[in-house]
Amino acid sequence: MIENWHGLEHPRLVAEKLLEGFSDLPVLDCGPIAGGRGRLRAIYGMTTTESSFKSILGFGILLLAYEAGLLRPGQTVIESTSGSLGVSLALAGKILGNPVELVTDPNIPAITRRKIELLGAKLHLVSGPHPTGGTQQARVELLDALLAERPGMHWTDQNNSDLNPAVYRRWLVPSIEPKLDLDWIDAAIFVVGTGGHFVGLSEMLCRHGIPCYVADRVGSATFGGEPGPSILRGIGNTNAVPAVIGSAMHLVEDVFYSSDEEAAEGVRELAGRGVYAGGTSGIALRGAAKLVAATGARNILTFFPDRGDLYGDVFLGASPQHSEVLLPAV
């Protein structure tokens, strides 16, 4: 535990040591899927001190920015986030001595918002969704306005920065690759937000001849779908395709879509197996089953990126008001 945040002799070494721990993720055997026609293994991304694999990106993108001379000591960092990356950036910034400001929306989970506040980062909330681009576009426009007012801030630009996939290549892939039985894997399927972890992992798997697919949500326009509302956060895009995934479409064999309701079913199925995860992981589970049905591949690798507490009871359905998944207003 770090007690004196302002007295670290070597803050970057401290951050890198923590990052190495964040990248040491387990691989779970999740059992049969698709009526027993397939079997699933998952990289489990919820084992860090603040319970989000985005710790890898939050710490890594700042450390690589320092290496590249893009970030200075004491310089304010700004980013648009649906929540989890914001916590990680806030923690990394506190260690490295960089103030952090985050653009988000009122739907940010209360516990995520409180973590960010306790870490001392500043939140800028949009007033509501953009008429056509939803909350993502509203956040983009507010961030642009803040940068115009204060151009001296460092924008990490997670959607478009080459540092995003570079983080996963450098820290996640070397940690995960030795834990995988590559001969066992017939295919892999991952969810995509910016696409950083998809790119890093898929590049490695494709080198071994393993095809990689995407599990996306209904309402995401990333791969040509019709944009629409969703209760899910951190997956899909409604306003623009991030350059990170846009420049790596050659790695995508195909895309399998699932609805919010299917995500909820997946979350409950995982909980019944003793794996407590969130809606994006439910999409990954459902996508893996559809992949098996469509291709005949039997042994599937995926990634469970989100944790179950973010949505409270929305997906598990323990309270009457959450027995059905309700979409947010557009």
Residue type, 74: G
- Give bridge partners of residue 40 from the DSSP assignment: 31, 300
Give the mean pLDDT of the chain: 91
Residue range 225-240: average pLDDT?
Answer: 89
SS3 per-residue string spanning 108-177: CCHHHHHHHHHCCCEEEECCCCECCCHHHHHHHHHHHHHHHHCCCCEECCCCCCCHHHHHHHHHHHHHHH
Q: Is the pLDDT of residue 228 over 60?
A: yes
pTM for the model: 0.91
Residue 102 DSSP symbol: E
pLDDT band at 321 (very low <50, low <70, confident <90, very high): low
The pLDDT, as a whole number, for residue 319 is 58
323 Cβ contact partners less than 8 Å away, ≥ 6 residues apart: 317
SS3 label, residue 191? coil
The pLDDT, as a whole number, for residue 323 is 52
The pLDDT, as a whole number, for residue 67 is 98
| Span 137-164, pLDDT tens digits | 899 999 999 999 999 999 999 999 999 9
The pLDDT, as a whole number, for residue 107 is 84
Q: What proportion of the chain, given as a percentage, has pLDDT over 90?
A: 75
Maximum mean pLDDT: which of 30-44, 107-121, 298-312: 30-44
| Span 50-70, pLDDT tens digits | 657 889 999 999 999 999 999
The pLDDT, as a whole number, for residue 329 is 42
| Beta-strand runs (E) in 209-276 | 212-217, 255-258
Cβ atoms of 199 and 244 within 8 Å: the answer is: yes
User: Alpha-carbon Rg of the chain, whole angstroms?
Assistant: 19
Cβ atoms of 82 and 234 within 8 Å: the answer is: yes
| Span 180-209, pLDDT tens digits | 999 999 999 999 999 999 999 999 999 999
Structure tokens belonging to residue 272: 């019944």
The pLDDT, as a whole number, for residue 307 is 74
Burial annotation 208-222 (CB, 10 A radius, 16+ → b, else e): eebbbbbbbbbbbbb
The pLDDT, as a whole number, for residue 49 is 59
pLDDT band at 330 (very low <50, low <70, confident <90, very high): very low
pLDDT band at 99 (very low <50, low <70, confident <90, very high): very high
Q: Is 110 left (phi over 0), alpha (psi -120 to 50) or beta?
A: alpha
